[in-house]
Chain A
Amino acid sequence: DQQVKQNSPSLSVQEGRISILNCDYTNSMFDYFLWYKKYPAEGPTFLISISSIKDKNEDGRFTVFLNKSAKHLSLHIVPSQPGDSAVYFCAASGSSGNTGKLIFGQGTTLQVKP
């Protein structure tokens, strides 16, 4: 039972354009969502997060949008840069009491072409 899904395995965009990465979830008890960025053979690094009480959070070039009614969130990167090329994981927490577990999606590989 995949509670967090990233249905696009890969995305390719041109440098300077917008990258939009999508994530869907099934558990309405999730109360916090995070995006992580991962390079090959390295651990994920935290990128941006959003609480379920908000619908938007912005940090520089990165903006996360949350649509609770659709159980959908998206990460926008504007403008995209070649250094943004990595695997992006969506994660959710809050469904299992106070265990603090993060439930991850499958990841989307972003390639930004110069």
Chain B
Amino acid sequence: DTEVTQTPKHLVMGMTNKKSLKCEQHMGHRAMYWYKQKAKKPPELMFVYSYEKLSINESVPSRFSPECPNSSLLNLHLHALQPEDSALYLCASSRQGPRDRVTLSSEAFFGQGTRLTVV
């Protein structure tokens, strides 16, 4: 199984809602990532979990709250979002994460993303 599965595929939420995005991989990867991608822009790194611990937070607003319940799952909890947060949210995993020996680094596997619209 070389898939990263993201749910839901589409999400529309109001600015007062609380919702969660989910990501799952069963490749035994030890690093998992959240990216945000606006139209016609590259993916922007938000968070990295390495060995189930938050390794990197790229100064993301607190209305985005990541969670890694176990090595296969990654969640992104959303609360009080703004319309400008509407974007494609991508999850990825890799065999090694930050701080691992980069000489052994490998590629990232991406999910198909969640298209989020904040109204």
A, B bound: no
User: Using a CB–CB distance below 8 Å, which chain A residues touch chain B?
Assistant: none
Contact surface of B with A, Cβ cutoff 8 Å: none
